[in-house]
Structure 1
């Protein structure tokens, strides 16, 4: 059976999720109070409905309790976001993901039972900042408040040296958990693995350690 999703709020974030889930063949119920936004997605998703998500009766009529995963992507209206999340929790929705506007909003969402709270603007800002530091930083993903995982291109500073030569764990407190090489992925690489300039290292560690690693080893070649 296809997994069923409901997206409440069809702004840039919610709309992007709608498109990707639909592209993957998932059943998607798209909900927004704005008729123009709903019309924009009516031919993309399984069902697109104009509705007020803060009305419990309306959500029940839409069959929200049969949905596997509800994503609350309401934009600037914090009150609607919080009330919608609370109603969904009380209706017994299996999984609820909510977009947070700020840390205060995130704390409230967590307290009322959101399964996952995401900060798309903040997270994208961090990714861009790390890429600005060095174009060799390909991606950056926050795992918790203090730990992250980063994808970096090896470049000339690491090329031709083994992991034991670089001694990344001892010097920077980070762990190389995998190496992407062409179409292959080397998981838990051996200490004597020789790094090539086009290798992509997947590194995990505390933010402060990753920052030191980036400054010392992940630098642009130009």
Structure 2
């Protein structure tokens, strides 16, 4: 895990709060660190905290179901909070308290469909079922710059993202995306339309989505331009 946590791809400025450092939350926190984020990890288990202490920016042993604890750790100061707690009751309580405190973007892990529905009802912004969505994939979506992320093999990925401002109004041929950014635009999706195969005449409008392929660092760097 230490080697993975030390990997840096693209530097980000946002700080993240991950509550619950189990299998899902722990791997997601490490991916966020690998992406260059500052990550505060919180877990009720002291052994887990000791395990992650050298891997994350900061780790705290605390019961996040208590609103006073969330206030003390500054939960409201984070733009994005991930609740990765496995215990259903603790997960719901923590998510509800975060929403009550005014945290705008709360990502929560569900272990069942009913758990997912409850988390949505208490106000979670996004609810994921790890059986269907891996923590690694979600880590690339938290900031909103990458709509979807699929790693096809070691060091190669497909990313769905928006068109950078500097390319608005240009055709794919004019933009020279591959030469300038080292990625290949595979599909283009104009607003209100379906994805279509990209060609040199494809226009990259402001509201377009594009599916780009390339090395992980290159596609993440391209998405950062948005």
- TM-score category of the 2 structures, normalised to the smaller one: 0.5 to 0.7
For residues 128-139 of structure 1, the aligned pairs below 5 Å read none
What is the aligned partner in structure 2 of residue 138 from structure 1?
Answer: none
Return the match for 2:114 from 104, 110, 133.
104
Question: Take 2:198 and 2:26, find their aligned partners in 1: how far apart are those partners?
Answer: 43
Which aligned pairs between 1:80-99 and structure 2 lie closer than 5 A?
A: 80-99=90-109
Output aligned runs, 1:56-67, within 5 Å.
Answer: 56-67=67-78
Aligned runs of 1:1-222 on 2, under 5 Å? 2-75=13-86, 77-123=87-133, 184-188=184-188, 189=197
1:4-39, Cα deviation, whole Å (9 max, x unpaired)? 111111111101111111112211110001111111
What SS class does the counterpart of residue 122 from structure 1 fall into?
Answer: coil
| 2:145 matched residue in structure 1 | none
Indicate how the Cα distance of structure 1 residues 81 and 184 shifts in structure 2: closer, same or farther if over 3 A, else same. same
* Structure with bigger gyration radius: 1
Aligned length: 143
Shift of 1:2: 1.4
- The answer to whether the 8 Å contact 2:185/2:198 transfers is no
Q: How much has 1:184 moved relative to structure 2?
A: 2.7
Q: CA deviation at 1:185?
A: 2.9
1:82–1:184 CA distance, 2 compared to 1 (3 A): same
Q: Judge conservation of contact 2:187–2:198 (CA < 8 Å) in 1.
A: no
Q: Distance in 2 between matches of 1:41 and 1:150?
A: 26
SS at match of 2:63: coil
TM value normalised by structure 2: 0.56
Q: Distance in 2 between matches of 1:90 and 1:17?
A: 24
Q: Which residue matches 2:224?
A: none
Provide the C-alpha distance between the structure 2 equivalents of 1:150 and 1:74, rounded to a whole number of angstroms: 25
Q: Report how far residue 150 of structure 1 moved.
A: 9.3
Instruction: Please tell me the root mean square deviation across aligned C-alpha atoms, in Å.
Output: 3.1
Deviating more after overlay: 114-123 vs 49-58: 114-123
Shift in CA distance, 184/5, structure 1 to aligned 2, threshold 3 Å: same
